[in-house]
Structure 1
Amino acid sequence: MRRTVTAAILAGALAATGSAVGPAPAMAATTDWTFPATAATLADVARSIRADAAYAAGYTGKGVGIALIDTGVVPVSGLTSGNIANGPDLSLESQVPSLLRYDGYGHGTHLAGIIAGRDSATTATGFRGIAPDAKLISLKVGMSNGAVDVTQVMAAIDWVVEHRNDDPKNPIRIINLSYGTDGTQSAESDPLGYAVSNAVAAGINVVVAAGNTGSRITNPATGVRPIVVGSTDPRGTTNPADDVISAFSAADGRGIAVDVLAPGRSVVSLRNPGSFADTFYPSARVGDRYFKGSGTSQAAAVVSGALALYLQKYPNATTEQARLATWGNNPQYANTQWKLNVATMLQPPPNVTLTTARGTGTGSIQKARGTTQVTFGDATALTGERDIFGPLSAPAWAFASTTQTAWNGGSWMGRVYTGTGWGPATNGQANWAGRAWSGRAWSGRAWSDVAWAGRAWSGRAWSGTGSEFTGRAWSGGSWSGARWE
């Protein structure tokens, strides 16, 4: 059951569509870092969504785990006070020791700050995300230039499902997925959408950015069971009554529409010095420590934080109850604006039946990619029914994902991807152990032949020589290969 955004509401949108352009061939965020709008601090955002009602009642997200599948997280101030952990790095950079787990783009760090950033575990002052006491687990899938294949995202979702109870005090109840492709196969057969459905079936609320297309919602927000988030522009106030839908925010497509709207324009969060975004969009800096970004990514992060507040109060709430809570706890959609309101969310959950629709996931991996794909060097694109290691059967994967057997130790679908347990903590962050890859890439070359050591992150730019993984092209604010929304 989905609601549609009316043309009248869309006509009231005032925010201008932004295009992020830059000199690097890459494929990551359509997040825009250049809006001249008044910056919205997280304190302002919290007041706008009425999260102050939760804080006054003592709800800060404690005991709730949130998985952020994105471009990684760096240990800047605000993400080192003990509530951030690094899960496996499944990105193509995981084989470079200096890049393991680190966010070279700036997108994941920005969202982590919005969701669960905090300066201290013992005081209520300083920088605070929407759910400052939630436990955030970062799974890096996107490189510093954004390159990622849809199968890596599927593997990350499967890992979260199979490891959701690793920390009994902070079980993972939420996935934040600000990622989308323009794939258009049916939601029932699409493998990426099915991975999301399996996570929901396992009791995890999957919060998906609707996309920044200004029109059609991207995949997997078109799937069967995620919480689809669109963006509003707070217009420089903390009064939600004057908020309007951001013009860049995707609205509907193929009968699917947004579930909830949250502030997503010029949201101020943590800066990642030397990252791609920081280097090419210095005007987005807010002082030395902060950075503003606009997109349904930021809106999704706000909703993920709000859901953690809700799940702290109602730890036994089903995914369907949590989803309806974002609607204003009214299955009949009394909250016609669909704007996130935490005070309303905290009302007792409605008695609803869990949606059982799930799909099959046996469709085409290539169609899940849509028109985007990762390229090795200048020639070999990752296409067809395969992942970064070789042929991959969608039906075989769908069965393994359904039965939660896709992962076996550090291997996903028989491919050795990562380590098998938690390693030493660094910079206040726990870390999953990494592992070297073997065998051959989709290009036919052995992973050991790839010149990983030939390129290094110097702080502001890539240096050295060697093989490069890139998106196919830079085009109009979209990163080819996938989109970080």
Structure 2
Amino acid sequence: MNGRKGSSRDMNKLSRSLRTVLSRNKEFNSSKPPAYRIIIQMKQGLSQASLRELQQAAAPETIRRVRHLPLIRAISAQAAESCLLRLCACDSVKRIYPDRLHRSSLYIAAPAIGSDTVRKKQGYTGKGIHIAVLDTGVYNHPDLTKPVNRIVGFKDFVNGRKLPYDDNGHGTHVAGDAAGNGWVSKGKYKGAAPEAGIVGVKVLDREGKGYDSTIIQGIQWCMANRNKLKLRVLNLSLGSPALGPWSEDPMCQAVEKAVQAGLVVTAAAGNSGPGRGSVESPGISPSVITVGAVDDRRTVTQADDVITVFSGRGPAKGGGVKPDLLAPGETIISLRSPGSLLDRELPYQRVGRSYFTLSGTSMASPLVAGAAALLLQKQPGLSPQQVKEKLKRHAYSLGLDANTGGSGEVNVRFLIPGARIRHRPRRTARHAHRS
């Protein structure tokens, strides 16, 4: 082990995003040096020897290990800036990143993308395909538990509880967007894949916030249990501003590993639009299906749909066309989690006793996750890349440039033999403005 103070070459081990965080904090001239939440990525992996080396390098201070992240050969920790400089001199350290905070991407959908038509004509409902919702949890809503319980798994990385719950309400809404069956509404409010199974993975807290390290733990758990739980799709309706290319982002590295392992990953484009380069992380990851939002204007036809102002636009930080697809995300009616934070703070958004309206790319992403489940039910042997290519190839074009609308709005009517999808001519983007 090399215990010297970090040289300028060693300092390059601090990621650009971490250096930005350090620089910003210095501007406040705090008298008490802060402890930074960081992710330390190792060159070779997480051996006991390398972890001891980290503690020795940090001396006389200590680093408090928080979580092991073997998926990306890293641990999360808390350390002072002076400790960071010594960690840079540790030979086994490859890179140090900030452990960034992500938030849920808040700001008549299923019929609009064709899932009702496909169900009636072909019988595709997502049955046998399970979708992991990495979010604030999932409430035992009748639309997910009747006539049979389709919440097939639950894991809580925030509070360690065993049974499904959702103290925020966002995750339950997202689960309903993907797989609600309309039990309470007698079929009126359904998700895209109304017989798909749901695995709730709580990685965001009551306020809808969660760190990189917690979310990566959730991804690791999904990968480790994908065969046991028959997982095929992961949905991430969360994000934070992209500070650099995907290769310099621990969360993006993790979702790329998930795709390589055979899982379709859908991610919200974020609600920081309409400026260029506003797609959020992990939506900048090249292999995930990144989803922006349209306003479907409460009609089944896609011909009158318009992109929302808030939907994140490309290109992705570091390069690459994003988003990949669009889906309805304006005033979406889905499942209510009674007594949750959103339910109490936004009572005027309740629809009856069992439903709730929310807007954002958070709502659009699970619709595409549900669309992927329908496709996988028909063709279970497809790889994640093949699922992505098919959904993009058959999307309904809104005539937008690729870094605004991707390949267009998801449309699963192509699953019906002989179906024809007409497209809107190329034109200047029309926006749906929030009232």
Q: TM > 0.5 between the two?
A: yes
The verdict on how the C-alpha distance between 1:243 and 1:289 changes in structure 2, with shifts beyond 3 A counting, is same
1:148 is paired with a residue of what secondary structure?
strand
Deviation at 1:119, TM superposition (A): 5.3
Aligned to 2:361: 296
8 Å CA contact 2:104, 2:239 repeated in 1: no
Deviation at 1:88, TM superposition (A): 1.6
- Which of 196, 202, 227 is the equivalent residue of 1:165? 227
Deviation at 1:53, TM superposition (A): 3.4
Aligned to 2:4: none
Percent identity among equivalent residues? 37
**Structure 2: segments with no counterpart, 5+ residues:** 1-100, 402-406, 419-435
Aligned to 1:139: 201
Matches within 5 A, 1:333-348: 338-344=408-414
Letter in 1 for 2:340: S
1:78 is paired with a residue of what secondary structure?
helix
Aligned length, in residue pairs? 303
Tell me the distance in 1 between the aligned counterparts of 2:102 and 2:206.
10
Aligned to 1:280: 345
Per-residue deviation, residues 89-114 of structure 1 (Å, max 9, x unmatched):
101x226x8xx642111000101111
Q: Does 1:110 align with 2:166?
A: no
Q: Does 1:31 align with 2:113?
A: no
Deviation at 1:146, TM superposition (A): 2.3
2:232 is paired with a residue of what secondary structure?
strand
Deviation at 1:77, TM superposition (A): 2.1
8 Å CA contact 1:328, 1:334 repeated in 2: no
Matches within 5 A, 1:222-371: 222-252=284-314, 253-254=316-317, 255-256=319-320, 257-329=322-394, 338-344=408-414
Aligned to 2:138: 73
The verdict on how the C-alpha distance between 1:279 and 1:114 changes in structure 2, with shifts beyond 3 A counting, is same
Letter in 1 for 2:201: L
Tell me the distance in 2 between the aligned counterparts of 1:127 and 1:53.
15
Q: Does 1:211 align with 2:211?
A: no
Q: Which has the larger radius of gyration?
A: 2
Deviation at 1:180, TM superposition (A): 0.8
Aligned to 2:260: 201
**Structure 1: segments with no counterpart, 5+ residues:** 1-25, 33-43, 349-485
Letter in 2 for 1:112: A
TM-score normalized by structure 1? Answer: 0.58
Per-residue deviation, residues 148-196 of structure 1 (Å, max 9, x unmatched):
21101011111111110004xxx21100001112242321232110110
Aligned to 2:160: 94
Tell me the distance in 1 between the aligned counterparts of 2:416 and 2:390.
8
Tell me the distance in 1 between the aligned counterparts of 2:304 and 2:376.
28
8 Å CA contact 2:130, 2:198 repeated in 1: yes
2:342 is paired with a residue of what secondary structure?
helix
Letter in 1 for 2:109: V
Aligned to 1:84: 151
Tell me the distance in 2 between the aligned counterparts of 1:278 and 1:233.
23
Per-residue deviation, residues 182-233 of structure 1 (Å, max 9, x unmatched):
2423212321101101110111110000000013111111113100000000
2:374 is paired with a residue of what secondary structure?
helix
Letter in 1 for 2:160: S
8 Å CA contact 2:136, 2:170 repeated in 1: yes
The verdict on how the C-alpha distance between 1:61 and 1:75 changes in structure 2, with shifts beyond 3 A counting, is same
The verdict on how the C-alpha distance between 1:192 and 1:232 changes in structure 2, with shifts beyond 3 A counting, is same
Tell me the distance in 2 between the aligned counterparts of 1:119 and 1:259.
28
8 Å CA contact 2:124, 2:374 repeated in 1: yes
Per-residue deviation, residues 461-484 of structure 1 (Å, max 9, x unmatched):
xxxxxxxxxxxxxxxxxxxxxxxx
8 Å CA contact 2:252, 2:282 repeated in 1: yes
Q: Does 1:152 align with 2:214?
A: yes
2:210 is paired with a residue of what secondary structure?
coil
The verdict on how the C-alpha distance between 1:29 and 1:197 changes in structure 2, with shifts beyond 3 A counting, is closer
TM-score normalized by structure 2? Answer: 0.65
Tell me the distance in 2 between the aligned counterparts of 1:268 and 1:119.
11
1:230 is paired with a residue of what secondary structure?
strand
Aligned to 2:235: 176
Deviation at 1:334, TM superposition (A): 10
The verdict on how the C-alpha distance between 1:27 and 1:105 changes in structure 2, with shifts beyond 3 A counting, is farther
Tell me the distance in 1 between the aligned counterparts of 2:219 and 2:303.
36
Greater share of helix: 2
Letter in 1 for 2:214: Q
Q: After TM superposition, where is structure 1 displaced by more than 6 Å over at least 4 residues in a row?
A: 332-336
**Bigger relative contact order, structure 1 or 2 (CA pairs below 8 A, ≥6 apart):** 1
Aligned to 2:114: 50
1:104 is paired with a residue of what secondary structure?
coil
Deviation at 1:301, TM superposition (A): 1.0
2:303 is paired with a residue of what secondary structure?
helix
Deviation at 1:125, TM superposition (A): 4.3
The verdict on how the C-alpha distance between 1:334 and 1:145 changes in structure 2, with shifts beyond 3 A counting, is closer
8 Å CA contact 1:79, 1:113 repeated in 2: yes
Tell me the distance in 2 between the aligned counterparts of 1:319 and 1:277.
33
RMSD: 2.7
8 Å CA contact 2:102, 2:211 repeated in 1: no
Letter in 1 for 2:233: I
Deviation at 1:289, TM superposition (A): 1.6
8 Å CA contact 2:102, 2:239 repeated in 1: no
Deviation at 1:30, TM superposition (A): 4.4
Letter in 2 for 1:61: G
Aligned to 1:481: none
